[in-house]
Amino acid sequence: MATGEEPGRDHRAPVCLCVLCGLPAAGKSSLSNTVCLSASRRGWRATVVQYDELIPDQAFHARESDEHTEWKLHRHAVLQRIEDFLNNPKAPLEIPAGCRIDRTAWDRCVRALLDPIQPNQAPLLFLLDDNFYYPSMRYEVYQLARKHSLGFCQVYVQCCLESCISRNKNRPHPVPSEVIEEMEKRLERPNPKKNPWEAKSISVNAMDNISECDIQRVMELICSALSDPLSPVVDDTEQKEADRQKCAANVVHQADQACRRLISEAMKKARANGVSSEHMKSLAAQLNESKAKFLLNVRKHFLQEASFIAEEELDVEHVMKRTMELFDHDVQEILSKIILNEDYL
């Protein structure tokens, strides 16, 4: 936690942020309530952070319209409220402008954590109940845990799409089925092999009732996270910059090789279409000029815009595929114009 005296905060109390992820109606809420009850029986201070209750409906409806939606701002606000509580549990809730976190839902969320019956040394458990279908969403929680040396773990609640849609229809406020279908396509379950920071993750099958064995597994996972809190990241700005430069150079080099292949293929196609030597020279000049501008933009993107996370491996193959699709589009446009001009001669 932050250094210095913080009113109402006992530094000896371990804290765990446990992410529950999965499709809507997969069974996350049922699991979180059961785990919360088990935690209370152990003498812990536990609560469920229910995103659906904290964030207003209109924010969820706007989630796909813009990269910086009201929904995204609200998600950040929820984590900020958790951080504020950890720093000063008795401080009044402050909601930033534009983020209408439900105060009643938040008060209900932290009520169990302020129970005077439980000792200050009792572990604090936050069960974050949301879909968290992208790793980037879960990584924000990990960053908060690492910043304050908290425990961190994840539980992926697994349930087939058909069952989720069926259960969802029986809810008081069902999510549109097409939203669940789209989310299922995008959902990236925890993958410790790809993202080492997701090491403390397990899957729970919620197709039927969650077993006592599964609850025990979840509790063991949380105990492990509580006993092994994360270490704050050191200031490695220079190393990150060096990594950015190295990664950019690697991607630009691969892009250059791929561009050369695409240009070579375009030149062969032009010859096969009987393009004159004069137009072949023009084609080569235009393609090389386009390549130079393209590679400059690729490097600029990786150095100035791309965000690299040390714990996440950059999928260079995916980046290259997406990048070269853009350049190939430019190549085909230039080639088509040259061939078209040749046909009109």
C-beta of residue 225 within 8 angstroms of C-beta of residue 146: no
Last residue of a domain, one of 227, 262, 279: 227
- Residue 152, strand partner residues: 17
256-300 pLDDT tens trace: 888 999 999 999 999 998 888 888 999 999 999 999 988 888 877
Is 3 contained in some domain? Answer: no
Looking at the structure, tell me whether residues 178 and 122 fall in a common domain.
yes
Cβ burial of 19 (10 Å; 0-12, 13-18, 19+) is: buried
For the ranges 93-107, 132-146, 274-288, the lowest mean pLDDT is seen at 93-107
Looking at the structure, tell me whether residues 279 and 219 fall in a common domain.
no
Is 25 contained in some domain? Answer: yes
Looking at the structure, tell me whether residues 73 and 124 fall in a common domain.
yes
Looking at the structure, tell me whether residues 339 and 243 fall in a common domain.
yes
Last residue of a domain, one of 192, 227, 262: 227
Using DSSP, state whether 66 is helix, strand or coil.
Answer: coil
Average pLDDT over residues 147-168: 93
Looking at the structure, tell me whether residues 189 and 241 fall in a common domain.
no
Overall domain count for the chain: 2
44-83 pLDDT tens trace: 999 999 888 887 665 555 444 444 456 677 788 889 889 9
Looking at the structure, tell me whether residues 220 and 245 fall in a common domain.
no
Looking at the structure, tell me whether residues 184 and 319 fall in a common domain.
no
Looking at the structure, tell me whether residues 23 and 162 fall in a common domain.
yes
Looking at the structure, tell me whether residues 339 and 209 fall in a common domain.
no
Determine the Cα–Cα distance for residues 202 and 33; give it in Å rounded to an integer: 18
Looking at the structure, tell me whether residues 303 and 249 fall in a common domain.
yes
Q: Which amino acid is at 237?
A: T
C-beta of residue 17 within 8 angstroms of C-beta of residue 138: no
Average pLDDT over residues 222-239: 83
Q: Measure CA of the first residue to CA of the last residue in the chain; give whole Å.
A: 75
Determine the Cα–Cα distance for residues 86 and 67; give it in Å rounded to an integer: 29
Query: What was the pLDDT predicted at 259?
Result: 92
Q: Band of the pLDDT at 119, cuts 50, 70, 90?
A: low
Token pair of 339, please? 């061939």
Query: What was the pLDDT predicted at 12?
Result: 64
Write down the H helix ranges in the chain. 28-41, 51-54, 57-61, 70-87, 103-111, 135-147, 161-169, 177-186, 212-227, 237-272, 277-300, 316-344
* pLDDT above 60 for 221: yes
DSSP state of 91: S
Max mean pLDDT among 75-84, 91-100, 115-124, 217-226 falls in: 217-226
Last residue of a domain, one of 208, 227, 246: 227
Exposure pattern of 136-151 as b/e (b: 16+ CB <10 Å)? ebbbebbbbbbebebb
Token pair of 299, please? 């490097």
Looking at the structure, tell me whether residues 145 and 247 fall in a common domain.
no
Is 89 contained in some domain? Answer: yes
- Angle (CA) 217-221-222 rounded to 5° is 120
Q: With pLDDT > 90 as the criterion, what percentage of the chain qualifies?
A: 37
Looking at the structure, tell me whether residues 156 and 19 fall in a common domain.
yes
Residue of 218, 193, 195 lying closest to 206 (CA atoms):
218
Between residues 6 and 266, which one has the greater pLDDT?
266
What is the widest separation between alpha-carbon atoms in the chain?
91
Is 9 contained in some domain? Answer: no
Query: Can you give the residue range of the structural domain that contains 90?
Result: 15-227
